[in-house]
């Protein structure tokens, strides 16, 4: 959470910083600011509110400079305010920092620095970094940041400038991401690659304990002890156009509509229909490791956790191994029992979620192998796992995850098939049958999307409702959970999801005419059971909207409205059923005038605990 950016090069500085911050705004958007250096003078502008407010302020009263920093904030220490907005300065105002993360020992440091005479102006933990660097500054900013970094406890990606050591940006990483873009006569540092791609495709990802001293000609990399590092320069294939709205009103809607392409891209090169095989050698785990796996533990947060629930069923059904799914935030504090026959699968769109990364680190020495399913190339999670299975969803800008959910399920189904194949748990004809069905998914999702207008019309009737219940069983339960999460996070409407069979154990008490229920009810092994749940709701005057198979002639007799999806292999139904639920949540939020792409209190990448 929080986005940092820094630029040094020939382009007009403030527009580069502001455009970069817009691309990082998903990481936090309660306040923002920039610091620029012109000659020897540092100027700072901070505002409460989004980047648009900062942009307006800079338009009304421009700043000029040849290099500088920018920040978009998601508050942790200190309420959102202009004073607490970054950049933060030392006592002289000549040394400036921006920070993503949490400094856990900031109170101790603040006390000590105060006693030494430093004057603090804000409630933030970040300000101690500025004063600590000031304390150690002897004319070399790189050396001062290095010494300060050794005293900081907690998570930080920090970028600093000092007018007394000019035309230099120093960046240090321990936890949250920091990427350096190496352009032609220009260098840019950022929390992710998106702001960099418009300038250059050549990037270097910093690891924990590493720092870079940047000038217009490139960067010098060292560890926190000052030992020089020969870092690998990677070339990123993402096209900057991927991060435009392309005519859609919101990124979220664009991303919902990208799902057919995303499934296709995530399958591409990984399936051989001729051989009836999944080809996942890219994960990089030996057959020996996979053959000895007796159990899988899937670990993730939020939407990725919901994809993990679907993955659990894929693993049980296709790989025939026991699988459990854990919240990363809970897992890391449990005495979780695992052994060298346990395969750990961590799922994270961003590849940077602090809890998921911590769970990965906790399990890595104790299991057979950790496989990461992630969308972010060279992210911390990708780099630390034993093997990686990338989702090829492209950049997801809407804070609410949509296309990455379907991409994650695609990857997990492939992983389960691969394991099933390698362990001899599946017959060749079964593998082929599922693979053929998966190849047809993009086309079927397109069919669901072609009915988006029907969902929009339906949503119009429910805009003013305050509570919704979602029900599903077996593979439809993750879809129900995901539908409810989408609605609550972007419309701020109370929505709860339950496994259908659990309804009678409590939630049924909520049912009345003011609490509509969305049921996910494809024709599968729990269809009849869901019909009983539906009857129980109807008996209590509940209004029911059903996502159901389009060939199901019966369902319309039991419910009030049907949102049809094409028939599909029962195991793969959540790929289709989740789509009308995403659209329903989107339409309600958009009609309520909510800030769909940047819902309140949220951030796309949760790099703090």
Report, as residue numbers or ranges, the catalytic residues.
2, 604
Cβ atoms of 475 and 571 within 8 Å: the answer is yes
Q: Among candidates 267, 160, 136, 173, which has minimal Cα distance to 214? A: 160
CA gap 426, 431 in Å, rounded: 7
Nearer residue to ligand F6R within complex by CB, 1 or 180: 1
Closest distance to ligand F6R from the beta carbon of 348 (Å): 3
Cα–Cα distances in angstroms (integers) from residue 222 to residues 135, 145, 172, in the given order: 21, 12, 10
Q: Could you please report the per-residue DSSP string of 463-480? A: TT--EEEEEE-TTHHHHH
Nearer residue to ligand F6R within complex by CB, 84 or 348: 348
Specify the stretch interacting with ligand F6R by CB under 6 A; choose among 38-46, 88-96, 123-131, 302-310.
302-310
Q: Under the criterion CB under 6 A, does residue 342 sit at the interface with ligand F6R?
A: no
Q: Under the criterion CB under 6 A, does residue 266 sit at the interface with ligand F6R?
A: no
User: Residues with Cβ < 8 Å from 444, sequence gap 6 or more?
Assistant: 565, 566, 568, 575, 576
CA gap 338, 316 in Å, rounded: 18
CA gap 256, 262 in Å, rounded: 10
Nearer residue to ligand F6R within complex by CB, 408 or 573: 408
Nearer residue to ligand F6R within complex by CB, 201 or 356: 356
Handedness of CA 240, 246, 249, 255 (dihedral sign): negative
Q: How many residues bind ligand F6R (CB under 6 A)?
A: 15
Binder of ligand F6R out of 20, 177, 260, 302 (CB under 6 A): 302
Closest distance to ligand F6R from the beta carbon of 609 (Å): 12
What letter does residue 315 receive in the DSSP assignment? I
Cβ atoms of 469 and 496 within 8 Å: the answer is yes
Closest distance to ligand F6R from the beta carbon of 11 (Å): 30
Q: Under the criterion CB under 6 A, does residue 177 sit at the interface with ligand F6R?
A: no
Binder of ligand F6R out of 69, 96, 301, 547 (CB under 6 A): 301
Cα–Cα distances in angstroms (integers) from residue 580 to residues 464, 486, 525, in the given order: 19, 11, 22
Specify the stretch interacting with ligand F6R by CB under 6 A; choose among 300-308, 362-370, 428-436, 465-473.
300-308
How far is residue 159 CA from its own chain's centroid? Answer: 22
Closest distance to ligand F6R from the beta carbon of 243 (Å): 17
Q: Under the criterion CB under 6 A, does residue 353 sit at the interface with ligand F6R?
A: yes
Q: Among candidates 23, 71, 21, which has minimal Cα distance to 46? A: 71
Specify the stretch interacting with ligand F6R by CB under 6 A; choose among 25-33, 345-353, 513-521, 534-542.
345-353
Nearer residue to ligand F6R within complex by CB, 67 or 390: 390
User: Residues with Cβ < 8 Å from 271, sequence gap 6 or more?
Assistant: 277, 278, 279, 414, 435, 438, 439
Specify the stretch interacting with ligand F6R by CB under 6 A; choose among 59-67, 173-181, 206-214, 348-356.
348-356
Q: Under the criterion CB under 6 A, does residue 476 sit at the interface with ligand F6R?
A: no
364-403: contacts with ligand F6R (CB under 6 A): 400-401
Q: Which residue number is nearest to ligand F6R in terms of Cβ?
A: 302
Binder of ligand F6R out of 122, 259, 304, 421 (CB under 6 A): 304
Query: What torsion do the CA atoms of 223, 229, 235, 239 make, to the nearest 10 degrees?
Result: 20
Nearer residue to ligand F6R within complex by CB, 56 or 333: 333
Binding site for ligand F6R (CB under 6 A): 301-304, 348-350, 353, 356, 400-401, 485, 489, 605-606
């Amino acid at each position: 959470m929080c986005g940092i950016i820094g630029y040094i090069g020939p382009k007009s500085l403030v527009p580069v910083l502001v455009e970069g911050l817009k691309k990082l705004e998903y990481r936090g958007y309660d306040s923002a600011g920039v610091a620029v250096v012109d000659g020897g003078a540092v100027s700072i502008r901070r505002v409460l509110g989004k980047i648009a407010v900062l942009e307006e302020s800079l338009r009304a009263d421009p700043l000029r400079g040849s290099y500088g920093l920018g920040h978009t904030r998601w508050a942790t220490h200190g309420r959102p305010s202009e004073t607490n907005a970054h950049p933060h300065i030392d006592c002289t105002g000549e040394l400036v920092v921006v920070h993503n993360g949490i400094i856990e020992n900031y109170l101790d440091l603040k006390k000590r620095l105060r006693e030494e005479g430093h004057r603090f102006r804000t409630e933030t933990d970040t300000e101690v970094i500025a004063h600590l660097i000031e304390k150690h500054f002897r004319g070399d900013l790189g050396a001062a940041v290095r010494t300060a970094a050794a005293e900081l406890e907690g998570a930080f990606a920090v970028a600093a400038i000092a007018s007394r050591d000019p035309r230099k940006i120093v960046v240090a990483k321990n936890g949250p991401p920091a990427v350096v873009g190496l352009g032609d006569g220009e260098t840019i540092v950022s929390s992710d690659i998106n702001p960099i791609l418009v300038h250059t495709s050549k990037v270097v990802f910093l690891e924990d304990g590493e720092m870079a001293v940047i000038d217009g000609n490139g960067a010098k990399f060292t560890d926190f002890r000052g030992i020089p590092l020969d870092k690998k320069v990677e070339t990123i294939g993402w096209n900057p156009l991927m991060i435009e709205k392309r005519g859609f009103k919101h990124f979220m809607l664009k991303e919902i509509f990208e799902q057919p392409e995303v499934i296709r891209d995530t399958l591409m090169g990984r399936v051989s229909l001729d051989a009836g095989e999944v080809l996942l050698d890219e994960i990089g785990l030996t057959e020996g490791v996979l053959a000895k796996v007796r159990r899988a533990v899937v670990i993730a947060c939020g939407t990725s956790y919901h994809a993990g629930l679907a993955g659990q069923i894929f693993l049980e059904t296709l790989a025939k191994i026991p699988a459990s799914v854990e919240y990363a935030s809970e897992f890391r504090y449990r005495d979780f029992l695992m052994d060298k026959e346990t395969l750990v699968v961590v799922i994270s769109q961003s590849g940077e979620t602090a809890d998921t990364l911590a769970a990965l680190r906790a399990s890595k020495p104790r299991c057979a192998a950790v496989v990461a399913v992630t969308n972010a190339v060279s992210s911390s999670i990708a780099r630390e796992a034993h093997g990686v299975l990338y989702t090829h969803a492209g950049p997801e800008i809407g804070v609410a995850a949509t296309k990455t959910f379907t991409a994650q399920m695609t990857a997990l189904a492939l992983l389960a098939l691969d394991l099933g194949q390698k362990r001899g748990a599946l017959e060749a004809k079964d593998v082929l049958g599922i693979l053929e069905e998966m190849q047809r998914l993009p086309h079927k999702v397109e069919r669901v999307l072609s009915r988006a207008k029907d969902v929009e019309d339906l949503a119009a009737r429910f805009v003013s409702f305050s509570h919704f219940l979602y029900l599903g069983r077996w593979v439809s339960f993750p879809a129900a959970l995901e539908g409810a999460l989408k609605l609550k996070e972007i419309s701020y409407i109370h929505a709860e999801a339950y496994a259908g069979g659990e309804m009678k154990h409590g939630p049924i008490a909520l049912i009345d005419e003011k609490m509509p229920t969305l049921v996910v009810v494809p024709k599968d092994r729990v269809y009849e059971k869901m019909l009983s749940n539906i009857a129980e709701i109807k008996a209590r005057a509940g209004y029911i909207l059903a996502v159901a198979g389009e060939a199901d002639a019966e369902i319309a007799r039991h419910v009030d409205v049907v949102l049809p999806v094409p028939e599909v292999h029962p195991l793969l139904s959540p790929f289709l059923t989740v789509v009308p639920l995403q659209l329903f949540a989107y339409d309600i939020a958009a009609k309520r005038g909510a800030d769909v792409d940047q819902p309140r209190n949220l951030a796309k990448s949760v790099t703090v605990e």
